[in-house]
């Protein structure tokens, strides 16, 4: 039985040669490959700066520090997202205020205003599964209430909102390069993109022991730097990103056609160019279907089974947590199907045939 993985990282000869080139250079941390990768990332996203860090979580923590996030501040976020997205603000003493999701699984903008309090300082929309959030409405509300907007683009490298690249619209944005992501460096890694010179300068110093010069420390910082080998890998992967995303969109279109009437397929709004980091369906008997597919060598996932407002680390810390009925319903129904930049139509057909067999509609 040939296994069909949920995700797969691009590893070709070009990437192997790039890694070897960096390995043989004798420079391993924040040198020429990192500098070039930052320039290329900024150019691709359409921002003035891209600052690499050891992970997106680390980068967002440094961003929050650079922006002056304070204890008792509040930031509005969707509950339905990776827990790593909210950890950095909590480390700053800031409270995440959770809102429900809309049909795209991104934050429900109709709930934003009622979540705002005198302590609210910002909104952090998540472009979940590679589908952009409704940014016009987010900015309309943010401007009305004098709030900043930071985009969580961990799953959306290359996605567009009304033709604008995600990550280019807020005061800053964060990207992840974890191995399953659309753009990966084959390990942990992330970056912060921004047009704000002061924020960029602070993050660069904070990630590297608070210094610009080797032996002059202007602030108390951290060691959250990036490395040359992964930067070399990322530079190659970035050149292939659009083509790999196009294949994801082709696979998603095939799934949409074949699974129509069998399961609830993910919507794509007219203003969105989604890149399908995950292809997430909603089904009845979700766990039984996942077991059935696994027995046939087809990997699936649940992203995410426990919403953040129900996580033990959150319920033990905060007492005034909301009820989010849409989020609480979908976590029992969602299932992520195999999708990646090199997935073949033949493998996608195998997945669809198995789902049809499960529901006795083959």
Residues 6+ apart with CB under 8 A from 100: 78, 79, 107, 108, 111, 324, 325, 326, 327
Please report the pLDDT score of residue 104 as a whole number.
98
Rounded distance between C-alpha atoms, residue 161 and residue 171, angstroms: 16
Nearest CA to 233 out of 1, 10, 43, 46 is that of 10
CB 221 within 8 A of CB 51: no
Please report the pLDDT score of residue 362 as a whole number.
55
SS3 assignment, position 217:
strand
Please report the pLDDT score of residue 2 as a whole number.
84
Spans of the chain, pLDDT less than 50: none
Ordered domains of the chain (ranges, CATH)? 13-235 (3.40.640.10), 241-358 (3.90.1150.10)
Nearest CA to 7 out of 352, 339, 342 is that of 339
CB 191 within 8 A of CB 217: no
């Amino acid at each position: 039985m040939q296994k069909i993985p949920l995700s797969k990282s691009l590893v070709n000869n070009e990437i192997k040669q790039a890694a070897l080139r960096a390995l043989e250079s004798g420079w391993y941390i924040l040198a020429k490959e990192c500098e070039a990768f930052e320039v290329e990332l900024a150019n691709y996203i359409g921002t003035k700066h891209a600052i690499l860090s050891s992970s997106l979580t680390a980068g967002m923590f440094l961003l929050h520090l650079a922006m002056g996030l304070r204890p008792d501040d509040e930031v509005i976020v969707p509950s339905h997202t990776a827990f790593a997205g909210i950890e950095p603000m909590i480390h700053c003493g800031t409270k995440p205020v959770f809102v429900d999701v809309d049909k795209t699984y991104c934050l429900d903008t109709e709930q934003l205003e009622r979540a705002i309090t005198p302590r609210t300082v910002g909104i952090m929309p998540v472009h979940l599964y590679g589908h952009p959030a409704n940014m016009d409405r987010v900015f309309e509300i943010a401007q009305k209430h004098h709030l900043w907007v930071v985009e969580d683009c961990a799953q959306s490298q290359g996605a567009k909102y009304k033709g604008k690249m995600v990550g280019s619209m807020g005061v800053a944005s964060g990207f992840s390069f974890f191995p399953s992501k659309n753009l990966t460096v084959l390990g942990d890694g992330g970056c912060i993109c921004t047009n704000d010179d002061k924020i960029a300068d602070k993050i660069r110093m904070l990630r590297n022991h608070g210094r610009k010069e080797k032996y002059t420390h202007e602030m108390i910082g951290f060691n959250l730097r990036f490395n040359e080998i992964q930067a070399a890998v990322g530079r190659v992967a970035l050149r292939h990103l659009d083509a790999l995303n196009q294949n994801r969109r082709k696979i998603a279109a095939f799934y949409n056609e074949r699974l129509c009437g069998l399961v609830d397929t993910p919507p794509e709004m007219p203003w969105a160019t989604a890149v399908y980091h995950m292809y997430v369906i909603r089904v009845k008997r979700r766990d039984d279907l996942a077991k059935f597919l696994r027995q046939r060598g087809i990997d699936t996932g649940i992203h995410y089974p426990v919403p953040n407002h129900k996580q033990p680390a959150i319920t033990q810390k905060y007492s005034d947590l909301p009820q989010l009925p849409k989020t609480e319903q979908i976590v029992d129904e969602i299932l992520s199907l195999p999708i990646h930049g090199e997935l073949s139509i033949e493998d996608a057909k195998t997945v669809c045939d198995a789902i049809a067999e499960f529901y006795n509609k083959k």
